[in-house]
Amino acid sequence: MKEQEATIVAPAPRPLLSRTTREMLANYAYLLPAAICLGGTVLFPILKTINMSLYHNVLFRPQDYRFIGLGNYARMVQDQTFWLTLRNSFAWVLWSVSFQFVCGLAAALLLNASFKGRVILRTINLLPWIVPGVVVGLVWEYLYQPNYGPINDLLRRAALMREPAAWLSEINFAMPAVIITNIWRGIPFFTIMILAGLQAIPIEVYEAATVDGASITQRFWHVTLPILRPIIVVATATRIIWTFNYADLIFVMTNGGPADATQITSTYTLLVAYATLDFGYAAALSVILLVIMLVFTALYLKFTKGVESVAG
Amino acid sequence: MKDRGRFSRRQFVRTLAASGAIAASSLVGQKVPFLSPRKASAASTVLFQYNSPDAPRIPLVQSFVDEFNKSQSEYEVKIDWVPQAQSRQKILASIVAGNPPDVTMVWDQNLPEFEGMGALEDLTSQVKGWKHYAATNPIAWQTVTVKGKIVSFCLGYTNDGVFIRTDRVKEYGLKMPNFDWTWDDFLTLAKGFTRPEKNQYGFGMRGAGQWAFTYATEVMYGNGAQVLKDGKVVINSKEAIEAFEWYIDLLRKHKVTPPSAPTDAYRQIVMGFGRGVTSMVTHSSGSIEEQKNSVGEANFTTLPWPIGPAKKRASFYQCETLTMFKAAKNKEGAWKFMTFMMEDEPHFQYCAKTGMLPTREALLKRPPFTGQWYSGFIKSIPFTIVSPYLSYVGWGSILEAVGAPLIQAAMVGKITPKECLDRWAENLTRNMT
């Protein structure tokens, strides 16, 4: 047997960075592509918009392009149409989302029960959500049409109306009319979200509550709603933000009219940007919309305790 | 195993030969020679942005471009079809970026904006030497003249007239007015047409979009009003207010318009007439073809605006232009294409197919312009004027953003006609730059 030679292994050179640091850097490297994408598509446009809002920037007057600081924001304070659209926006969001939520919750509770034809009903319930917003707007515009629309026709046949009502052209009816359309369109969103939550509630929880003598109402208030709370909070916050920024229904149905009765801040921003080409002022309006939504979301999540679990 | 996926040199040559043989056999019987002069590489490109690509216009414009490309070998026009709603922004953005198309079709109302950016090529000297210059209606040069410079050709123009259902005139035993009808005749006829129980109304009034205020302004001119006088905005004059009150009363007092008028835009007024909801509507000759299909050729005619109390009337001239930009990369090609489009046949065909009026009188004497449907517009030519809203940069754009909400507020009774015109005058004055 050959005698083994003793070898001395040279110690590996000490790495430049510690293992923890290397792992951390690797993790950041994995995140980098997503961060670049988000930065390029979200952060950069926001910063660019903020920058644009500080300039007098009317596209067809390039010779007047200049830095005006908070000039566009000062103009906004004086702009009566802006304040009107802001009030309209709050009414639009408040009535739309609250009715969407209540009707969506009711529909979810109904569709969570076992009955024949449930699958078909669940599918039908999705229809308003599947149809594109522009098509929804056109269909409802036809329904509301004063001269040949089915709504007026039914009301007249039922002797509930003498003269045809111009639902979208009367200053008092226009906003409720577009809100009703938006409610119809948004109900399925809440139904799906809440239904998913309902189906995740273990049956044992209800059994335990029943054993403890809880009535149906008590089970709803003390079992169902608290467990659904995180879903409701997220769904409502999401929907409020969408609705606040949602412009296509109003654009198609009334184009903000009559006399700005249905003009919300997001449609007004589009009008300023693309009709008058005042990109500086439109950017300032967009920044204010962003700030309103950020403040709202922060407050909403704080007061509703966000998405913390019930146990937490 | 190792060489399984590789081609030997011999296999490669065989495959190449076989491919060639297959390709050659597929060409047998081809009518067009496989090898022909390669025009595209020799011709320089002219980029043409066309901004109203409706289904009937696409083949029409494409056929002109094909004909131009065939007619010479120096230039090849390529079309960029841009929906009308995005056309203005796209042109403005391309001007800002220093890369506009060589030539574009654009409405005259946008010319002051482009000129405001210093983007338009001055064509004055070239146009004045053009062979059809003198034969062209002078107003066609007036509308494309900005700051004393001719910047475009008028490819086709429209003015406004009144469409009338002649079959209903007979059906209801009404008196058909002649070309010199008055506001009173108009109101009498509108009342005679109105049958709310049958969903029929006398007049399709427009409350939405930029033409809402334009039509109302034409009515005001009938009472001797003007938008601008001696460099001052006078659209809130006594004459203008009286006329505007008369116009708003059609909706609020006489109820001869559909109740939806405050939010009715182009589509609603044109379709309203086409579906029989209204029996009179104001629009340009651009909707004649649509009404022929909807109402029937024999069932309608057109008249000029009625004469107002001041024994006046006006119709505003608007045109589709062919416009070249200062930063165009192929100005010679653009000019050649523009003049080709303005030759008798393309100019006539373009107007005849799109319902616009050609700018040379000789072409107006050919059908379809001799038909009854064009009579109201042709008769309006003597009192057709360039829209006063082209006077200042930005006035055209506030017609929709400011004008429409204001006129709607007057239509729904939120403000009086006087308040509406006062605010409108204030806005116009603020934008006089």
- pLDDT at position B161 is 96
Q: Chain A residue with minimal CA distance to B406?
A: A259
Q: Is residue A311 pLDDT above 50, yes or no?
A: no
Does a structural domain hold residue B331? yes
Q: CATH number, domain at A230? A: 1.10.3720.10
A170: which chain B residues are within 8 Å (Cβ-Cβ)?
259, 412
Domain hosting residue A235, numbered range: 87-257
Give, to the nearest 10 degrees, the angle between helix B417-430 and helix B404-411.
170
B196: which chain A residues are within 8 Å (Cβ-Cβ)?
163-164
A254: which chain B residues are within 8 Å (Cβ-Cβ)?
263
Does a structural domain hold residue A227? yes
- A218 to A112, A230, B46, B170, B182: CA distances (angstroms): 18, 19, 75, 72, 75
- A167 to A175, A220, B412: CA distances (angstroms): 9, 38, 12
Does a structural domain hold residue B4? no
Contact flag B405-A259 (C-beta cutoff 8 Å): yes
- pLDDT at position A146 is 84
Report A:188-247 residues touching B (Cβ under 8 A): none
The reply to whether B237 and B302 lie within a common domain is yes
Which pair of tokens denotes residue A195? 């239904």
Q: CB-CB: which of A148, A165, A259 is closest to B408?
A: A259
Does a structural domain hold residue A266? no
Q: Is A145 on the interface with B (CB under 8 A)?
A: yes
Contact flag B196-A164 (C-beta cutoff 8 Å): yes
Question: Which of these, B358, B400, B392, lies nearest to B378 by C-alpha position?
Answer: B358
- pLDDT at position B1 is 40
3-state secondary structure chain A: CCCCCCCCCCCCCCCCCCHHHHHHHHHHHHHHHHHHHHHHHHHHHHHHHHHHCCEECECCCHHHCEECCCHHHHHHHHCHHHHHHHHHHHHHHHHHHHHHHHHHHHHHHHHHCCCCCHHHHHHHHHHHHHCCHHHHHHHHHHHHCCCCCHHHHHHHHCCCCCCCCCCCCCCCCHHHHHHHHHHHHHHHHHHHHHHHHHHCCCHHHHHHHHHCCCCHHHHHHHHHHHHHHHHHHHHHHHHHHHHHHCCHHHHHHCCCCCCCCCCCHHHHHHHHHHCCCEHHHHHHHHHHHHHHHHHHHHHHHHHCCCCCCCCC
- pLDDT digits over A27-36, tens only? 999 999 999 9
Contact flag B398-A276 (C-beta cutoff 8 Å): yes
B116: which chain A residues are within 8 Å (Cβ-Cβ)?
60-61, 63
The reply to whether B85 and B138 lie within a common domain is yes
The reply to whether B183 and B300 lie within a common domain is yes
Q: Which amino acid is at B418?
A: K
The reply to whether B274 and B406 lie within a common domain is yes
- pLDDT digits over B60-111, tens only? 999 999 999 999 999 999 999 998 878 888 898 899 888 999 999 998 988 9
Does a structural domain hold residue B110? yes
The reply to whether B80 and B92 lie within a common domain is yes
The reply to whether B212 and B285 lie within a common domain is yes
- B143 forms beta bridges with none
* Beta carbons of A219 and A185 less than 8 angstroms apart: no
- pLDDT digits over A60-88, tens only? 888 889 999 999 999 999 999 999 999 99
Does a structural domain hold residue A277? no
Q: Is B83 on the interface with A (CB under 8 A)?
A: no
Whole-angstrom distance, CA of residue B159 vs CA of residue B108: 13
The reply to whether B233 and B188 lie within a common domain is yes
* Beta carbons of B235 and B245 less than 8 angstroms apart: no
Q: CB-CB: which of A81, A170, A255 is closest to B208?
A: A255
Does a structural domain hold residue B374? yes
B258: which chain A residues are within 8 Å (Cβ-Cβ)?
146-147, 166
Does a structural domain hold residue A205? yes
Look at residue B34 and give its three-state secondary structure: coil
A147: which chain B residues are within 8 Å (Cβ-Cβ)?
199, 201, 258, 260, 272, 277
The reply to whether B133 and B115 lie within a common domain is yes
Look at residue B360 and give its three-state secondary structure: strand
Q: CB-CB: which of B96, B277, B411 is closest to A258?
A: B411
Whole-angstrom distance, CA of residue B100 vs CA of residue B116: 15
**Number of separate domains in chain B:** 2
Does a structural domain hold residue A113? yes
How does pLDDT run along chain B (433 residues), one tens digit per residue?
444 445 566 666 666 666 666 655 555 555 444 444 445 457 899 999 998 778 889 999 999 999 999 999 999 999 999 988 788 888 988 998 889 999 999 989 889 888 888 899 999 999 999 999 999 999 999 989 988 999 999 999 999 999 999 999 999 999 999 999 999 999 999 999 999 888 899 999 999 988 999 999 999 999 999 999 999 999 999 999 999 999 999 999 999 999 999 999 998 899 999 999 999 999 999 999 999 999 999 999 999 999 999 999 999 999 999 999 999 999 999 999 999 999 999 999 999 999 999 999 999 999 999 988 999 999 999 999 999 988 888 787 788 889 999 999 999 999 999 999 999 999 999 888 6
**Number of separate domains in chain A:** 1
Grade residue A308 by pLDDT with cuts at 50, 70 and 90: low
Q: CATH number, domain at B354? A: 3.40.190.10
The reply to whether B339 and B256 lie within a common domain is no
Does the CA dihedral A258-A260-A266-A268 come out positive or negative? positive
DSSP string, B201-221: BS-B---SSTHHHHHHHHHHH
Does the CA dihedral B59-B61-B66-B71 come out positive or negative? positive
Q: Is A171 on the interface with B (CB under 8 A)?
A: yes
- B19 to B14, B22, B212: CA distances (angstroms): 9, 5, 66
Q: Is A79 on the interface with B (CB under 8 A)?
A: no
Does a structural domain hold residue A177? yes
- A247 to A167, A267, A287, B49: CA distances (angstroms): 19, 6, 17, 29
- pLDDT digits over A229-279, tens only? 989 999 999 999 999 988 889 988 998 989 999 999 999 999 898 888 899
- pLDDT at position B31 is 47
What φ, ψ does residue A262 adopt, rounded to 5°? -115, 15
Neighbours of A156 (CB within 10 A): 15
Domain hosting residue B353, numbered range: 39-159+318-383
The reply to whether B196 and B330 lie within a common domain is no
Q: Is residue A188 pLDDT above 50, yes or no?
A: yes
How many CA atoms are closer than 13 Å to the CA of A151, on its beta-carbon side?
Answer: 16
* Beta carbons of B127 and B120 less than 8 angstroms apart: no
The reply to whether B266 and B392 lie within a common domain is yes
- A67 forms beta bridges with A55
Contact flag A277-B398 (C-beta cutoff 8 Å): no
- pLDDT digits over A152-182, tens only? 889 988 888 877 788 998 899 999 999 999 9
- pLDDT at position A312 is 39
Whole-angstrom distance, CA of residue A257 vs CA of residue B406: 10
The reply to whether B286 and B410 lie within a common domain is yes
Residue listed under structure tokens 């290397």: A22
Does a structural domain hold residue B17? no
- B35 to B30, B31, B32, B39, B43: CA distances (angstroms): 11, 12, 9, 12, 18
Contact flag A257-B96 (C-beta cutoff 8 Å): no
Q: Which amino acid is at A191?
A: T
Does a structural domain hold residue B23? no
Residue ranges of E strands in B325-401: 384-386
Contact flag B262-A257 (C-beta cutoff 8 Å): yes
Does a structural domain hold residue B346? yes
A62: which chain B residues are within 8 Å (Cβ-Cβ)?
96, 117-118
Domain stop point among B366, B383, B400: B383
Per-chain mean pLDDT for chain A: 89
Q: Is B279 on the interface with A (CB under 8 A)?
A: no
A148: which chain B residues are within 8 Å (Cβ-Cβ)?
199, 275, 277
Does a structural domain hold residue B8? no
Contact flag A275-B401 (C-beta cutoff 8 Å): yes
Question: Which of these, A230, A236, A244, lies nearest to A292 by C-alpha position?
Answer: A244
